[in-house]
Amino acid sequence: MQGRRSFCVPGRAALERQRGKPSDSKRTQRHWLAHLVQCQSTMPFESGAPRQHPILPTEVIDLDGKHRHGLRVFCDTRQRSVPLDICRECPSCARITDSEGGRGGSVDCTPPLELVPDAPVAAGAALRRGVVAVDAAVLVRDVVALFVERGLRLVVVTGDAGRAEGIVHESQLLREIQDQARSLPTRLGWGLTAFESASAIMFPATTILEHAPLRAAVAAMATGHQRQLLVVDADGFPVGVLVDVDALHALHGRRD
């Protein structure tokens, strides 16, 4: 069972700032991320305690509009993400709390201690959010519709066989997203961009491997002044989006 979490004083202050004021300055962000990397009060998961792994929904939208859904779980024992069906068959699985599309669902498991590698907390273990991805050829117009319908902050652009290639962030299309949400007429100049492919406007994705140490992920966020990082598996397929607050909980939280 999940215990109450405690934080060191700077960690608690950072968490409260994040909750109350999501637009913290980059200076503040750098400050607490740097603290996280160095703080000695960080503790890994307690060995022997039941582990709760969030279910990470993955949705990929193809050029023809087809949606492919998947549910994955980061497994501490294997140090990689696995399809939820693997957990269903796993002898260590105690309970699966499935919810709408995997959102908010989790897997409780108690693997034998000898099977749990003595490794630092991995980036994948801190994930609380899956990904929504589009094929690189999907039109920008359809990406805007996706942002409006789902209230997303970012969309992953996939290329070769579904591997992560880039990211389109909400801020890149903010005006079009707002206009479409309010059913305002299309502005002049938008016509050309709307019919470009997502790959034409994406930024290269900053990624980290799911089994990389969480500390390395946090250090990469601090260095790149980023609040989120795309986590991929060993083959380059997107697994989830690591957000700074989730990293704070996983790296800094501990059980009383």
CB of residue 94 vs ligand SF4: minimum separation in angstroms? Answer: 8
Cα dihedral value 94, 126, 229, 26, nearest 10? 150
Instruction: Report the residue from 34, 39, 63, 90 that binds ligand SF4 according to the rule CB under 6 A.
Output: 90
Q: Which of 28, 52, 92, 180 binds ligand SF4 (CB under 6 A)?
A: 92
80 contact partners, CB below 8 Å, separation of at least 6 = 74, 124, 210, 211, 233, 234
Examine residue 86 and tell whether it contacts ligand SF4 (CB under 6 A): yes
Which residue lies nearer to ligand SF4 by CB, 12 or 80?
A: 80
Q: How far is CA 39 from the centre of its chain?
A: 23
Stretch that binds ligand SF4, among 72-80, 178-186, 210-218, 243-251 (CB under 6 A): 72-80
Smallest gap from residue 111 Cβ to ligand SF4 (A): 4
**DSSP labels, 129-177:** --EEEEETTSBHHHHHHHHHHHT-SEEEEE-GGG-EEEEEEGGGGHHHH
* Least CB distance to ligand SF4 at residue 46 (A): 15
Of residues 39, 82, 145, 219, which one binds ligand SF4 by CB under 6 A? 82
Is the CB of residue 151 less than 8 Å from the CB of residue 225? Answer: no
| Choice between 15 and 87, CB closer to ligand SF4 | 87
CA 26 from chain centre, in angstroms, equals 20
In angstroms, the CA 75 to CA 111 distance is 10
One-letter identity of residue 66: K
Kindly state the smallest distance separating residue 209's Cβ from ligand SF4, in Å. 18
Tell me how far, at minimum, the Cβ of 210 lies from ligand SF4, in Å: 13
Taking residues 111 to 140 in sequence order and writing x for each that binds ligand SF4 by CB under 6 A, - otherwise, the string is: x-----------------------------
Rounded to whole angstroms, the Cα distance separating 140 from 152 reads 15
Closer to ligand SF4 by Cβ: residue 92 or 226: 92
Name which of 176 and 233 has its Cβ closer to ligand SF4: 233
CA distance 179 to 213: 41
Does residue number 109 form part of the binding site for ligand SF4 (CB under 6 A)? yes
Q: With respect to ligand SF4, which residue has the nearer C-beta, 81 or 197?
A: 81
How many whole angstroms separate alpha carbon 221 and alpha carbon 47? 28
Residue span 24-63 as binding mask against ligand SF4, x where in contact by CB under 6 A, dash where not = -----------------------------x----------
Report d(CA 9, CA 84) in Å as an integer: 37
- The whole-angstrom distance between residue 179's C-alpha and the CA centroid of its chain comes to 27
- Per CB under 6 A, residues contacting ligand SF4 are 53, 73, 75, 77-78, 82, 86-87, 90, 92-93, 107, 109, 111
